[in-house]
Structure 1
Amino acid sequence: MTISSVNKAGIPEEEMSSKLGLPSLDMSLAFPQATPASQFPPPASDYYQLDDLLNPEEIEIRRKVRALMEKEIAPIMTKYWEKAEFPFTAIPKLASIGVAGGTIKGYGCPGLSLLGSAIATAEVARVDASCSTFILVHSSLAMLTIAMCGSEEQKQRYLPSLAQLRTVACWALTEPDNGSDASSLKTTATQVNGGWVLNGQKRWIGNSTFADILIVFARNTATNQINGFIVKKGAPGLNVTKIENKIGLRIVQNGDILMNKVFVPEEDKLPGVTCFQDTSKVLAVSRVMVAWQPIGISMGVYDICLRYLKERKQFGAPLAAFQLNQEKLVRMLGNIQGMLLVGWRLCKLYESGKMTPGQASLGKVYPQTSSPLFATTKIFPLVLRAGLDFADGQGNGSPSARAHGRERNPRRFLSRQGLLRSGADLLLRRHLRHQQPGHRPGDHGDRQLQARRSRLSKPALMNSRGRLYISS
């Protein structure tokens, strides 16, 4: 006699197992009021008509990238995001739009204007943040490093296949112990007969698990300066493993890289990287591209939310008919216009040779002042949080939720928000001490600082006259 096992609910295991693993309902059946995100909505977030500031080539790039992302990429990305897998079938489609290599001229690269490349980044990010990160790492970091710091022979050997996405590259600078303080990296490069031997570890390197070539930065043991190297996939002593269980940018394959006596031939040493300052040439361009990534994501979130609020009905009316939702939409739309204009101006400053590191940083991080300036990565979370509010009970699976899961990434990419806040606190502390000569730790200045911090940490509310105040 066979006795069926019974679980705590009193249901036989055979019956329970027959109900597991069933596919979920199609979204059109499960939630018929709203169009699924796989059918991406038409653009509605460019309220000030950015196309008027673009030349015909840049307008065409925007149209071509937008069409491909909406029709070919949007329908498949949710499945890969859920599994935290990379959609390798999308690589040929991304190659077809011809944006890999961005501003690089020759060697099969598109030779776009900086603004054209930035627009392409934003249009990719508008539909999927992970795809834009894949392109950013491959194009604006790895390929650009070869173009700016490589020899002529290296450019001719590597850039054509990278531009066509027949091969993929990653950029390995960050280490477990050195993120923002990248110039203190510990990976070493020791010169030997015929080349170099690399030893060390890198972490959070996007594209690294499947990259064909790795741009690796290491400290020259003879000069103590930072040098750059092109390391090929499968090199003896090279071990790359995927970082699992991420919440943000789940599709991006970030990896840990271990190098144990990895030999790199002399021909694959980048001659243009002789110290850490040489990386700033590449980072200057990538900062602009990183500023445009949250612009694109915010545009996509707004477009999705606007359509959803028009389609979803409660209390006999579309959600878009309620004034509270309209106010949030207006704030989102206004923030996006400010972000677009900051991004556009950054591109023009760079192309004219006038952009300073401070201007690039301001474009990424909202200034620690009371001035109502718009910037990209500080305004970005505000747009996403409004998008999550709009997502209602459907929020956990929405594009807004997927985007919100990676909202900190632009700040982590090139700057650490925690360090920026610490710097602001330090400046405020110095200001208070300057006001009170003879200040000692624990005096009124510290209490003032704590009170200021506490006040700023409380939520801002709006009174009946429409004025913002800090709740007590």
Structure 2
Amino acid sequence: MTALYPVSDLYGFADVLTEAETDKLRRLREVLESQLVPILPDHWERAASPVHLRGPLRDLRLVDDPALLGPDGRCRELYTGFRNFEFSRIDVSTGMLFHGQTAMFRELVRQGGSAEQVARWDQPIVSFEMTGCFALTEPDHGSDVARGLETTARREGDEWILDGRKRWIGNAAHSEFVGVFARDVADQQVKVFLARTDAPGLTLTTIERKAALRLVTNSDIELDAVRVPETHRLQRVTSFADVSALFRTLRPDVAWIAAGAQAGAYEAALRYTLSREQFGRPIAGFQLVQDKLVRMLGNVTASLGMAVQLAHRRQAGVSTDEDSALAKLWIADRLRETVAWAREVVGGNGILIDYDVARFFTDAEAVYTYEGTREMNTLIVGRAVTGLSAFTR
């Protein structure tokens, strides 16, 4: 069988995927290449989200096909990682459209909801009948949101009253529910509420003029006495420790996203340099260009190696916070290098969306920042290796 990634997976890391997993990823690629790639430049220019692809992606059953599920009812970590990789090597934003629903929102409910809530909502979330997003970040609080959460929740009978603001909330404009993280004024603990996006007092405003992730619709959210029934409070989130446990599940995804974006940039640069001629020969035949192509491939290969080992550790149940933090910060660093070299070898055309590299170049800045900045992840790893916390004095 032909290798899944013959261009960018030099060491054949994907060869250990099962036949069912490999087949599923090939089918995903077919949908993305036939239905997404032709419209990417136009959607990027208009900052339009390809929401219409939710149906075809749902029909692939990427997360709930019985052939993919283990005894625990979940996909293998390695498959989940390569699914992120496959999306991101074509377009990071479209991966966010899909995984914001099936990973972030779904895991929020699966880990934070009661058994009854999970039983009621999990399948509708997978089928996109119940759409939702994840609202933690605030205008004045990102990495410090654990201690600085300003959005509040006040109980009144069988309802909760939410007040506050959220920022950078992806997919909110295309979702029925938003999972709002708020501080209970009674006990000062963090809780999560599934608020309807059409609820009175909830206002969504699209964040415009973005340079990165232009196909993701990010929103500012204002919450002015928004009422949420107690039945829509996720029952198992009672402190920020529960929130941290959730991020332990989600943070490794960013390492795979960063690795996939590197592969996409490298593959786009290779295509271009093989077709672009100067002095009567493809520029891929010049030493300086080959040097950068090889550096890019080295970064992709090393990043995949780290991501794959992280998946193995997670599957075995031995992964730690610092494992994910180190992978995220190191692979995101390599992403910045790789997209810069890709832009260089494509020359002036590297700033045109039609040649793909520009998308990866700008999206790298968003990937570098979200799910914890490099500096915050460095502090997590630093605490682990020294036994000393630099978070507090």
Q: Could you say whether these structures have the same fold, taking a TM-score greater than 0.5 normalized by the shorter chain as the test?
A: yes
Other-structure match for 1:313:
277
Other-structure match for 1:122:
85
Determine whether 1:182 maps to 2:145.
yes
Other-structure match for 2:264:
300
Other-structure match for 2:369:
412
- Are the aligned partners of 1:381 and 1:407 in contact in 2 as well (CA < 8 Å)? yes
Give 1:424 deviation, angstroms: 11
Equivalent pairs, count:
372
Other-structure match for 2:390:
none
Give 1:43 deviation, angstroms: 5.1
- Which piece of structure 1 moves more, 387-396 or 252-261? 387-396
Other-structure match for 1:67:
30
- Are the aligned partners of 2:179 and 2:195 in contact in 1 as well (CA < 8 Å)? yes
- Are the aligned partners of 1:101 and 1:140 in contact in 2 as well (CA < 8 Å)? no
CA distance in 2, matches of 1:234, 1:249: 25
Determine whether 1:284 maps to 2:235.
no
Other-structure match for 1:399:
356
The structure that is helix-richer by fraction is: 2
Other-structure match for 1:364:
328
Deviations 1:320-375 (A, max 9, x none): 11111111111111110111111111111111111111111110113xxxxxxxxx
Partner SS for 2:172: coil
Determine whether 1:252 maps to 2:203.
no
- Are the aligned partners of 2:325 and 2:378 in contact in 1 as well (CA < 8 Å)? no
Other-structure match for 1:50:
13
Kindly report which structure 2 residues correspond to 1:146-185, keeping only aligned pairs within 5 A, or say none: 146-183=109-146, 184-185=148-149
Determine whether 1:203 maps to 2:167.
yes
- Which piece of structure 1 moves more, 55-64 or 299-308? 55-64
CA distance in 2, matches of 1:153, 1:412: 35
CA distance in 2, matches of 1:276, 1:252: 27
CA distance in 2, matches of 1:414, 1:88: 23
Q: Report the CA distance shift for 1:348/1:119 in structure 2 as closer, same or farther (over 3 A).
A: same
Give 1:110 deviation, angstroms: 7.8
CA distance in 2, matches of 1:59, 1:351: 18
CA distance in 1, matches of 2:80, 2:104: 13
Other-structure match for 1:94:
57
Give 1:409 deviation, angstroms: 1.8
What is the TM-score of this pair, normalised by structure 1? 0.75
CA distance in 2, matches of 1:206, 1:291: 19
Give 1:413 deviation, angstroms: 1.2
Q: Report the CA distance shift for 1:300/1:142 in structure 2 as closer, same or farther (over 3 A).
A: same
CA distance in 1, matches of 2:376, 2:52: 39
Q: Report the CA distance shift for 1:419/1:266 in structure 2 as closer, same or farther (over 3 A).
A: closer
Deviations 1:160-212 (A, max 9, x none): 22212234211000001110012121100101111211111000111112211
Give 1:396 deviation, angstroms: 1.4
Other-structure match for 2:39:
76
- Which piece of structure 1 moves more, 69-78 or 155-164? 155-164
CA distance in 1, matches of 2:49, 2:302: 32
> What 5-or-longer segments of structure 1 have no aligned partner?
1-41, 367-375, 426-472
> What 5-or-longer segments of structure 2 have no aligned partner?
383-393
Other-structure match for 1:271:
235
Give 1:213 deviation, angstroms: 1.0
Q: Report the CA distance shift for 1:423/1:47 in structure 2 as closer, same or farther (over 3 A).
A: closer
CA distance in 2, matches of 1:188, 1:347: 36
Determine whether 1:85 maps to 2:32.
no
- Are the aligned partners of 2:273 and 2:283 in contact in 1 as well (CA < 8 Å)? yes
Other-structure match for 1:450:
none
Give 1:421 deviation, angstroms: 8.0
- Are the aligned partners of 1:102 and 1:110 in contact in 2 as well (CA < 8 Å)? no
Other-structure match for 1:214:
178
Give 1:114 deviation, angstroms: 1.7
CA distance in 1, matches of 2:172, 2:238: 24
Structure showing greater radius of gyration is 1
- Are the aligned partners of 1:43 and 1:303 in contact in 2 as well (CA < 8 Å)? no
Determine whether 1:326 maps to 2:290.
yes
Give 1:140 deviation, angstroms: 2.0
The one-letter code matched in structure 2 to 1:248 is A
Other-structure match for 1:437:
none
Other-structure match for 1:439:
none
Deviations 1:24-44 (A, max 9, x none): xxxxxxxxxxxxxxxxxx851
- Are the aligned partners of 1:187 and 1:217 in contact in 2 as well (CA < 8 Å)? yes
CA distance in 2, matches of 1:422, 1:76: 41
Other-structure match for 1:442:
none
The one-letter code matched in structure 1 to 2:176 is D
Partner SS for 2:213: coil
Give 1:417 deviation, angstroms: 3.4
- Are the aligned partners of 1:230 and 1:268 in contact in 2 as well (CA < 8 Å)? yes
Give 1:267 deviation, angstroms: 0.5
Q: Identical aligned pairs, as a percentage?
A: 32
CA distance in 2, matches of 1:408, 1:151: 37
What is the TM-score of this pair, normalised by structure 2? 0.89
Runs (4 or more) in structure 1 with deviation over 4 Å come to 100-103, 418-425
Give 1:96 deviation, angstroms: 2.2
Q: Report the CA distance shift for 1:153/1:419 in structure 2 as closer, same or farther (over 3 A).
A: closer
Q: Report the CA distance shift for 1:102/1:234 in structure 2 as closer, same or farther (over 3 A).
A: farther
Determine whether 1:133 maps to 2:96.
yes
Give 1:135 deviation, angstroms: 2.2
